[in-house]
Amino acid sequence: MWVFATKQNVVYESSRSRSKEVPKRVMGNYGGTGVVDGYGAYNDYTRQRNWEHLRREVKDTKIEEAVTHYHELYDRAKKMKEKPPPEREKFIRKARDGEFPELIATLREHEGNKKATEAATKIENALPDMFRGVRDPDIPLNNSHAERLLRKVVVHRKLWGCIRNEKGKRFVSNTLSCIETWKIQDKNVFQELQKFAS
């Protein structure tokens, strides 16, 4: 199950495929910035890497120095969104060119720690896409909203057995897309559903 969310719309897409064809089909020529994890299916779009996802990667290394350093950088990045553009740019340069390379080096020092090596590589690959949300305060630094929306599918999958076949998957995708879109648009879900029933 895939979820695509903006400030005004939510689209669930059920597909067994994990290829870039799914975002292409749903997003088309979307010109905005997508907040994403490191998954390659989004490589054709302008991306803001999910800081929260990378935070979990660093936390899993159990290297206290790296965990603390990443938390400090993340907290400062969130605060920078409120600062004037010159301060944001100064933070970006310092973080991208100095502090993140230091963090990556700290992680790589722990050669026997596979999770540290993986986290270092993921951060290194993410760096070009980590600061769009600092530069533009309207772009979030994490995709927690989408992750919360996906959790609902997990709950519904357990409650509704229909998600196991194609017709059921389409029903769940369409129903949840409508319900979640109406919610973020502050519409009365019950009244909107009644419009369909009448």
Helix residue ranges per DSSP H, 44-113: 51-59, 64-80, 85-94, 100-108
Range of the domain at 12: 2-48+143-197
Does residue 162 register a pLDDT over 70?
no
The count of structural domains within the chain is 2
Distance CA(100)–CA(131), nearest Å, equals 12
Looking at residue 191, its pLDDT comes to 85
Mean pLDDT of the chain: 90
Instruction: Give the count of beta carbons closer than 10 Å to the beta carbon of residue 142.
Output: 20
- The verdict on 6 and 56 lying in the same domain is no
CB-based contacts of 28-32 (< 8 A; 24+ apart in sequence):
32/6
Same domain, 64 and 130: yes
Give ∠ CA 143-144-148 in degrees, rounded to 5.
Answer: 125
User: Residues 171-198, buried b or exposed e (16+ Cβ, 10 A)?
Assistant: ebbeebbbbbbbeeeeeeeeeeeeeeee
Residue 176 CA to residue 159 CA, distance in Å, equals 14
- Residues 35, 85 within the same domain: no
Domain boundary among 106, 135, 164: 135
pTM of the model: 0.80
Same-domain pairing of 126 and 171 = no
- The answer to whether 33 and 139 are in contact (CB under 8 A) is yes
Q: In whole angstroms, what is the distance from residue 91 CA to residue 97 CA?
A: 10
Name the domain boundary from 111, 135, 159.
135
State what percent of residues in the chain have pLDDT above 70. 95
The span from the CA of 115 to the CA of 185, in Å, is: 40
Which of 88, 112, 135 lies at the terminal end of a domain, its last residue? 135
Highest mean pLDDT out of 46-60, 139-153, 168-182: 46-60
Q: H/E element holding 116?
A: helix 114-126
